[in-house]
Structure 1
Amino acid sequence: MELKRTLVRAAVSRPGVLLATSPGATRQRLAVEAELARRGWACVGGPAEADLFVILGDREGEDEDEGEGGEGDWVAALWQGIPAPKARVWVTDPGRVADALDSGLADLVRGEHGNDHAPDAPDAHHALHALHALHEHHEHHEHHEHQQNGDHPTPPSDHGGHDMHGGHHGHAGHDMGLVEGLPMADRADDRDGLRLDVLHVPLGPVLADWPAGLILRLTLQGDLVQEATAEPVTAPPSPHPPFWDEPWLRAASGEHISRGDAARRLCAAHLDSLGRFFAVAGWDDMAARTRHVRDRALAGAAAAELTSLVRPLIRRAQRSRTLRWLTTGLGTLPAEQARQRGVTGPALVADGDTYNRMLVWLDAVGRSAADCDVTEALDPAEVVGPRGRLDTPVPPSKAMLDSLPKLLKGTEFACARIIVASLDPDLDELTHVPAPGTVHSHG
């Protein structure tokens, strides 16, 4: 028995961690990601690879049935899909992340939750199947070329993937038939008059490098997106300002906020978005370095240190011909269309495609890093957060979500996640319900 425990401890000393982030839990996510990087624990892309399930956000209503797509549904589905030995922890306090991870590791070593399956949620099996199939499909859409010295991303290929059952594009969704419990696609005419599979593919709400709480429903024919809808998971309203928008909202409410504090938050927000963007594009080394600089910004590093850290990142991203080739021409959003849809911030300034939006983020990171030590007060009328204006009837991330379907239509499935990452909508903005009369009192 003692030998068995020793072997289990050795196997789980660096467990694979699956993060499930609820809208409103950005602060917790950042704290967990920083602690995982410190420990050298890897975040995994799906339940099959996970040992430790870390759920981020408030535990209110965790035992309630929130309906299809609600938190109870996807949390239960993910937990059921993790093979034993396994353990799970909730992180509600960013200041106690280390304690929570230690507790989860101890449970994993003891095997206390190895057979602890959460109660079946509505359609939990189908939700889990979709999560597994999506992960497998994304994995097989990556082109496994050698990355020389980690200087270039690994581009996605145009080849179709296979799901965990060995079939082409196996996904759970609506309007599909079932053969021995496996979903089958409908068929319809494509643009060339051929009869191709019509696949209904749900992305999210839990994926690596994915906006927390976003569900994207795609209709595919072959590898092309024919239709897309974007919707948030059900989440309780929060009186707390979104983490990334906090300095500007607090200044608008009359608090003294320095320009340096706002610049620091802006710098970290864009580095966080860039980390997702690089990771989805297949540039894992660059994503890790970007997140390290993000963590240094949030830890209060001086402007001189941050500037010295961001300059090589900016140069490296701008000089990568592979990244430019991979992202140019995807998700083009002209400025005029952005204005008509209520989009503001970097997506409006970029006036172009995913590559243009990345360049705007890089430019903002360089400028904001240099301003992190400025002590002058932030102008209360300057209510432009990382994703756009905060004094409009619609939060900036809602306008981006509304724009996603048209940006995705007609694109290849392998490119859909890059387009989403280039906008990086913050669904925390959709759960924020401020007091009447304050900025963003849209309800």
Structure 2
Amino acid sequence: MDMAPGGLPLAEGGGDRDGLEMDVLEVRLGPVLPHWPAGLVLHCSLQGDLVTQARAEVFGAGDQGGDEADARARGLDNLVSVLALAGWDDAAAQARRIRDAALETGGGPSDPGVGRLRRRVRRSWALRWSLRGLRPLTEEEVRRHGLPVDVVGDTYDRLLRMVDRAAGGERRHDVRPAVWTDHLAQLVVGLDLAAARLVLASLDVHGLRTGQAEHEVSHG
């Protein structure tokens, strides 16, 4: 691939879904990216801002253990991410303060502010409009991708469950399993970058495991 000034890769030609040739750009997302699952690296092929191919791996994080306090903090972190990526900075800041308070108390009683945040989220028609219908998942798809059972539905459904968990607190048996990176790659193909980041944050991933074999998926 030719290199542009500064060492950035130039786009190459490739056919899009309509049979027309479009530029294809190879990019790497992560492992250090705001509002991104810790340690996840996605190697993506982009046509415009559409992800047409994706391959995932874990870089320096791996399966995250921890107790229920850790699980609660990670869940609140992911809630912050969804709200920030959805463009609601004020609610994201409110969730961030709740997360910081939870870290200080070591997973003690829930901050009373989480109830107010929950009501704000549920009342926001703009949030519902922007997230409804984004990467819906059926029960069968959730089983196939090895995801937690409560991610069934679309991104808006998943956000509501995240804020409900934050309001109710995490119990030890609710600690979420690690997710195979192979399956995350499959879920972002066909989405634009902004939507892909929202979907990944909405899955409330608490730990990652590299797939047993390299697995590349493409959007035909």
Q: TM-score range by the shorter chain?
A: 0.7 to 0.9
Against the structure 1 CA distance between its residues 226 and 293, is the aligned structure 2 distance closer, same or farther, given a 3 Å change threshold? same
Aligned to 2:11: 185
Whole-angstrom distance in 2 between the partners of 1:212 and 1:268: 13
Against the structure 1 CA distance between its residues 313 and 284, is the aligned structure 2 distance closer, same or farther, given a 3 Å change threshold? same
What TM-score, normalized by structure 2, do the two folds share?
0.82
Pick which of 411-420 and 196-205 moved more: 411-420
Aligned to 2:192: 412
* Preserved contact between residue 146 and residue 183 of structure 2 (Cα < 8 Å): no
* Preserved contact between residue 266 and residue 365 of structure 1 (Cα < 8 Å): no
In structure 1, stretches of 5+ residues that fail to align are 1-175, 248-261, 372-377, 389-395, 432-443
Offset, 1:212 = 2.1
58, 62, 66: which one aligns with 1:232: 58
Q: Which amino acid is the alignment partner of residue 154 of structure 2?
A: D
2:88 is aligned with 1:283:
yes
Superposed CA RMSD: 2.6
Aligned to 2:26: 200
The residue correspondences of 1:23-422 to structure 2 (distance < 5 A) are 176-179=1-4, 181-234=7-60, 242=64, 245-247=65-67, 262=68, 264-300=69-105, 303=109, 306=110, 308-344=112-148, 348-368=149-169, 382=173, 384-385=174-175, 387-388=176-177, 396-398=178-180, 401-422=181-202
Offset, 1:209 = 1.8
> Which portions of structure 1, spanning 4 or more consecutive aligned residues, are displaced by more than 6 angstroms?
none
**Deviations for 1:110-169, whole angstroms, at most 9, x for unmatched residues?**
xxxxxxxxxxxxxxxxxxxxxxxxxxxxxxxxxxxxxxxxxxxxxxxxxxxxxxxxxxxx
Offset, 1:358 = 0.9
* Preserved contact between residue 218 and residue 228 of structure 1 (Cα < 8 Å): yes
2:205 is aligned with 1:425:
yes
Structure index of larger Rg: 1
Q: Which amino acid is the alignment partner of residue 66 of structure 2?
A: E
In structure 2, stretches of 5+ residues that fail to align are 211-220
What TM-score, normalized by structure 1, do the two folds share?
0.43
Whole-angstrom distance in 2 between the partners of 1:184 and 1:267: 42
User: Aligned pairs, how many?
Assistant: 208
Against the structure 1 CA distance between its residues 178 and 265, is the aligned structure 2 distance closer, same or farther, given a 3 Å change threshold? closer
Whole-angstrom distance in 2 between the partners of 1:292 and 1:334: 33
